[in-house]
Chain A
Amino acid sequence: MSEMSAMDRKIIQNLAETLSRQVKHFNRTEAECLIRLFNGRFGDQNDRKTGHGLDRGKFRNILHNTFGMTDDMIMDRVFRAFDKDNDSYISVKEWIEGLAVFLRGTLDEKIKYSFNVYDLNGDGYISREEMFHMLKDSLIRQPTEEDPDEGVKDLVEIALKKMDHDHDGRLSYTDFETAVREENLLLEAFGPCLPDAKRICAFEQQAFQNPPEH
């Protein structure tokens, strides 16, 4: 980015300043690093001018390569969770905000984020069907079984039993929150949607290794 003009640098610095004020967890330098990374990632000057940002494919690449996610559906959901304005692109702001939770979120923030990811249709509840959908590949299918889905169905029931505190057959946000607070392991109950400590560490190291001079 050495050819980046002074003009650009100024813009980036200002942006970092604003964003670091809006988003906790990152200071200005870190925000600036992430903005540069963002710019680097989506490379194409034209795209940037149009102001869209990262599209689904590129973002999924990042999730896959950098954060080791594999589940297509979950990755889609993570994209949706990042893409707050639903325009199918992730803007700089959404990028920074998303990463804040992703990398350094508090438990509260992560619970909200995870719930968002798992609430596939966005109706505020994780329903049986949604759970089934997310868990359907989580068990080895025994070819001998009569109903190959039986295990998954059972697993859904187990999860409901564990988390559905108001017994309405679906998980509300409150249900989910209570359950996770009780047992932190349930934060990613329906599939890994957050990077593990090692990946976070590696990513931060790489992203923040060259702080821009001022």
Chain B
Amino acid sequence: MGIALTRAAQWTTASSGTGKLEITPLNESLLKEILDFVENFSSRHPQEANLEFKEPLKWKTTLDPCNFKMEYEVSGQTVRSVEASSDGQPLLHLSSSTICVLTFSQLTKIVRIANDKKLKELRTCLEENRDPVAKILGPSFATVEGEDTSVLRFLEKVNSNEDKEHDVRIKLLILLKQLDTQLLSSLLKQISQEIRLSPDTVKNDVTLLKSFCGNGEQRVLISVQYTSDYEYLNGCRTPPWRQVHGEICYLVIHTCDTDPLYVTCSTAGVFLNGGIKQEGDENAYERKSDIYKDLVTLLKHHSPHFAEHINKQDFRVQKEPPSTQKIEHVEPVGAEEQGQTQRSYEHQEKNVHEKARQQPAQNKPGSKKKLEPSSKWKNLGLGSPYQEEDDRKASRSSILESSLQGIGKKKAELSSSSLHGHQSSQKIKTPGGGPSSEDQSESSSEDEEDEEQPERRPESHADLPSEYWHIQKLVKYLKGGNQTATVIALCSMRDFNLAQETCQLAIRDVGGLEVLINLLDTEEIKCKIGSLKILKEISCNSQIRRAIADLQGLQTMVKILDSPDKELKCLAAETIGNVAKFRRARRTVRQHGGIKRLVELLDCVPDSATLTQEQEKDVEVARCGALALWSCSRSTWNKGAIRKAGGIPLLGRLLKSPHENMLIPVVGTLQECASEKTYRIAIQTEGMIEDLVKNLNSENRELQMHCASAIFKCAEDRKTRDLVRRYEGLRPLVALLQETENKQLLAAATGAIWKCSISMENVEKFQEYKALETLVALLTEQPEEVLVNVVGALGECAQNPPNRAVIRKCGGIQPLVNLLTGTNQPLLVNVTRAVGACAMEPENMAVIDRLDGVRLLWSLLKNPNPDVQASAAWAICPCIENAKDAGEMVRSFVGGLELIVHLLRSTSKDVLAGVCAAIAEIAKDEENLAVITDHGVVALLARLTDMEDNLLRRYLAEAIAHCCAWGANRVSFGEAGAVAPLVRYLRSDNASVHRATAQALFQLSKDPDNCITMHENGVVKLLLGMMGSTDELLQEAAAGCVANIRRLALANEKARYG
């Protein structure tokens, strides 16, 4: 019962110390279940009931000693049981209203004695023993979250020690665990029935209530106010530490007939609080009333006036609140962030549906009343904006659709693939930014189709095309015909152009989908085949897909996958593949065991030279299975499910197939799944890289693209990069750079080149294949998803010095610098890195300087994205190092030095390290050092000295070393307490940290006080060790520092003993 108690029971939260179990229906049922368990324990499990607890359960009881009769010794206020434990302790002991109990049998007795107070006793017992299991069985059984190994551990113990008592104990443990599960499942049932409010629903309610406020006779309320005007991004208005309790906002509601109501809206419902006016008073958060499902119900209970008048309101003249419309549509788009995890997506989606489902349900209770306002709201407040939105979207999309949808889809696919592996979670924007309408239409035609797309229905019946009537007739025959008529109708339906949206929607609108899906449940193979052939075609339409999923079509199709008829299996799998293009469908497939069945379809012999007819059919089945898995694999959980169903080796085997139509879905699935680490490892270890590389040489562009894309995702790993080289995959990748017209292919190929070029050996190969020249040529007139990869590849290649000159010679510097003015953040990260790498060569630097590249880099420090900031800071270092007259150049940037010093306040370690490195370079110029000292660089650097990160430590030490050169900075560092932490850096395991630190200490040791601090921190011994290093710089710095300390000591002695 541990987990049920810690996780599911509702504890009061405000009061510190021992929590109280709140009096909620949920807790009540929980207590009753436990009580039931305890009451019957002695009779059901007599042996276990006599097992002594490891520690007694103790609590303050309200039981009177005189209630104890038989088997107890009662003397005044103390009660002792006659039964005693093995070491003589009484099994029950009551004194001064504290009761100690050692066995379940005693607990059972107490429950009987307590009679009508038993629930209360149990509650106090549980409140004071928050983890009873730990007390009963010992601390090793304390309830832990996540995987609980206590049973396993216990089993081991039992095995090693065959004691009878252990046997009993394990039985008890199992009993308790059973109770826990039972509790959880019954609670789950309850919880699932409860309403969950969301910030949006609350906001809508409040907006509506506000519109009922006023002065007229008809007014229902005087005012409704939030206690806080500030709204967090998640829509809550409560302080964050209250948000964790699910509280959304607090309201003060002035009704016409009661005192002001102080209301808390939380996800669990709405209740009165202790009167929160402003933040602060902790006690005010306590719940003071029952929980109501929404504001209206609460108001009806507390304000008779409201209850009476709300029904009289003339809602028809009520204007819809202006904000609702926006909210409803903004939310899903905003949630599109790529970085979000699957779980939260699914959760969100579920919420949306639940909300939709609840609304009608909410209207049922209390049906005695003539009118329920909430139902009216639905019609007026929520219903109509949807309608309008639909119409608007419909008209807009019909204009844009033909031209944009296709492009939009491709882009979206591209961006999702090219983004993978990139640190940033930002989304690539369409080139040029585009007007807002374009942005919106793209997001709605996103390949993920996360948004529930608006319905598009024909405007009126007047202009329905003739197909509509034909299809209606055919559907009539489908409904009312025997199998012969059905087959004829199905075949005839296939003669329509099912790729055309009019026909697809006509089938849906005349109720054809229901019939087609019903046919799948019949025994008639011919009807099933005919129906699936149609469903397969029309499911290209996203609205049809959703309709099929809504009609439970996926469940039936998943079942069909078990059919012995191979044609049927193929069609079902292909249709599933078409339908599972959106998240909910993919989840349905998984939840109904579809993934496992689809994986089973993959099992065939794809590569044998001569196939029998049956084997050929098997291959076809496998191909369709792969197609379906390809669609399903867009969901993270499905990726896991495919792996668990043993899909990886099967995919690996199919990868050997010589047929392109097989390879495309297989590689497509693999490249989709390669976003998961487990897959990347599997792809590498199962030898799939070889096949992927082989297929890079295919004639089929799509196949090449998926292969390149898979390599792109996998080549984060060094071994994979080596394998690609070993199987000679680099040359075909470079060859693909010629495909300048096929942007998707180009993006995948450049991505693969980028990731492969992280290995220097690969860079050498690329040099050999003259890849750099081609890449530089791609720096202009390419979409951003290609550019990101091209620039990334150049950045990696330029880490190898000879390549820097190559880039300059083929004119790469200019376009790179031009790209610094862009807005795409992943691109900027790569561009800054590439420019930085190029700047390491003085000749390049001259070009960059002439193009004013450093100023552009510097202005990127202002970019809101920390990745860009960090990368820009790193790029600035070689620029300063290699620029002629760097000091003057840096000074010429107005406010530049202040900006960079300010970045030392960043929270990102990368940014800090980069900025420290840049400051080290800047500080080499005395005048600039003076300026940054004025901006307070010393204190900021000193503040960072307790960081753990080695990279940061190294550059921080360098920056400190260089900043010491000005004025009283050495002393200031000492005063700011930077010296002692620096000494600790010498204990780090990183050689470059040692060197930089020794240099910093050497500089700092020129101040006597610092020497004393260093000495006190035991620097001498550490430095003596470093003086023996082979690194001359380290040697010299260490020696210099020790010498300074020594000199101080000598001077001291001299002064003393003179």
- Asked if residues A185 and B491 are in contact (CB atoms below 8 Å), the reply is yes
Cross-chain pair count, CB within 8 angstroms: 66
- Asked if residues B477 and A189 are in contact (CB atoms below 8 Å), the reply is no
Q: CA A104 – CA B620 in complex, angstroms?
A: 22
Q: CA A140 – CA B477 in complex, angstroms?
A: 9
Known: A138-B482, A140-B480, A188-B484. A183 touches B491 (CB 8 A): yes
- Asked if residues A183 and B494 are in contact (CB atoms below 8 Å), the reply is yes
Query: Which residue of B488, B490, B526 has the most chain A CB atoms within 10 A of its CB atom?
Result: B488
Residues from chain A with Cβ under 8 Å of B481 in the complex: 138-140, 155
0 or 1 for each of B748-784: is its CB under 8 Å from A? (1 = yes) = 0000000000000000000000000000000000000
Q: CA A175 – CA B810 in complex, angstroms?
A: 67
Across the two chains, which residue of chain B brings its CB closest to A138?
B485
Known: A155-B477, A196-B525, A197-B565. A190 touches B484 (CB 8 A): yes
Instruction: Judge if A186 is at the interface, Cβ distance under 8 Å.
Output: yes
Residues from chain B with Cβ under 8 Å of A191 in the complex: 484
Known: A196-B525, A197-B565. A185 touches B490 (CB 8 A): yes
Known: A192-B483, A192-B484. A185 touches B529 (CB 8 A): yes
Q: CA A165 – CA B488 in complex, angstroms?
A: 16
Known: A185-B487, A185-B526. A137 touches B565 (CB 8 A): no
- Asked if residues B492 and A185 are in contact (CB atoms below 8 Å), the reply is no
Pick the contact of A162: B482, B488, B525 (CB < 8 A): B488
Pick the contact of B485: A135, A142, A161, A185 (CB < 8 A): A135
Instruction: Judge if B530 is at the interface, Cβ distance under 8 Å.
Output: yes
0 or 1 for each of A131-161: is its CB under 8 Å from B? (1 = yes) = 0001101111010000000010011001101
Q: CA A159 – CA B489 in complex, angstroms?
A: 8
Q: CA A137 – CA B491 in complex, angstroms?
A: 19
Across the two chains, which residue of chain A brings its CB closest to B480?
A140
Q: CA A159 – CA B492 in complex, angstroms?
A: 8
Shortest CB distance B351–A (Å): 44
Q: CA A97 – CA B485 in complex, angstroms?
A: 30
Shortest CB distance B409–A (Å): 31
0 or 1 for each of B463-478: is its CB under 8 Å from A? (1 = yes) = 0000000000110110
Q: CA A140 – CA B483 in complex, angstroms?
A: 12
Shortest CB distance A128–B (Å): 14
Known: A139-B477, A197-B565. A158 touches B487 (CB 8 A): no
- Asked if residues B488 and A158 are in contact (CB atoms below 8 Å), the reply is yes
Pick the contact of A185: B477, B495, B530 (CB < 8 A): B530
Pick the contact of B487: A142, A161, A188 (CB < 8 A): A188
Instruction: Judge if B564 is at the interface, Cβ distance under 8 Å.
Output: yes
How many residues of chain B are within 8 Å of chain A by beta carbon? 24
Query: Which residue of A142, A155, A189, A190 has the most chain B CB atoms within 10 A of its CB atom?
Result: A155
Shortest CB distance A140–B (Å): 4
How many residues of chain A are within 8 Å of chain B by beta carbon? 24
Shortest CB distance B518–A (Å): 15
Q: CA A154 – CA B470 in complex, angstroms?
A: 11
Residues from chain A with Cβ under 8 Å of B495 in the complex: 161-162
Q: CA A137 – CA B526 in complex, angstroms?
A: 19
Q: CA A109 – CA B564 in complex, angstroms?
A: 24
**Interface residue ranges of B559-581 to A (CB < 8 Å):** 564-565
- Asked if residues A137 and B529 are in contact (CB atoms below 8 Å), the reply is no
0 or 1 for each of B799-834: is its CB under 8 Å from A? (1 = yes) = 000000000000000000000000000000000000
Residues from chain A with Cβ under 8 Å of B474 in the complex: 158
Query: Which residue of A135, A138, A189, A197 has the most chain B CB atoms within 10 A of its CB atom?
Result: A138
Across the two chains, which residue of chain A brings its CB closest to B492?
A158
- Asked if residues B477 and A151 are in contact (CB atoms below 8 Å), the reply is yes
Residues from chain B with Cβ under 8 Å of A158 in the complex: 474, 477, 488-489, 492
0 or 1 for each of B576-606: is its CB under 8 Å from A? (1 = yes) = 0000000000000000000000000000000
Q: CA A139 – CA B479 in complex, angstroms?
A: 9
Q: CA A189 – CA B526 in complex, angstroms?
A: 10
- Asked if residues A159 and B525 are in contact (CB atoms below 8 Å), the reply is no
Q: CA A197 – CA B492 in complex, angstroms?
A: 25
- Asked if residues A161 and B492 are in contact (CB atoms below 8 Å), the reply is yes
0 or 1 for each of A47-59: is its CB under 8 Å from B? (1 = yes) = 0000000000000
Shortest CB distance B1036–A (Å): 88
Residues from chain A with Cβ under 8 Å of B480 in the complex: 139-140, 142, 151
Shortest CB distance B572–A (Å): 16
Q: CA A135 – CA B564 in complex, angstroms?
A: 30
Residues from chain A with Cβ under 8 Å of B526 in the complex: 185, 188
Residues from chain B with Cβ under 8 Å of A151 in the complex: 476-477, 480
Across the two chains, which residue of chain A brings its CB closest to B530?
A185
**Interface residue ranges of A69-117 to B (CB < 8 Å):** none
Shortest CB distance A75–B (Å): 14
Pick the contact of A135: B476, B484, B525, B529 (CB < 8 A): B484
Residues from chain A with Cβ under 8 Å of B565 in the complex: 197
A and B contact pairs by CB, cutoff 8 A, 19 listed: A135-B485, A137-B482, A138-B482, A139-B477, A139-B482, A139-B485, A155-B477, A155-B489, A159-B488, A159-B492, A162-B495, A185-B529, A186-B487, A188-B484, A188-B526, A189-B484, A189-B491, A192-B483, A197-B525
- Residues of A bordering B, CB below 8 Å: 134-135, 137-140, 142, 151, 154-155, 158-159, 161-162, 183, 185-186, 188-192, 196-197
User: Nearest 7 A-B pairs (CB), nearest first?
Assistant: A138-B485, A140-B480, A158-B492, A138-B482, A138-B484, A139-B481, A191-B484
- Having A142-B480, A155-B485, one finds 10 other A-B pairs with CB under 8 Å, namely A139-B480, A140-B481, A155-B489, A158-B474, A158-B477, A158-B488, A183-B491, A188-B484, A188-B526, A189-B487
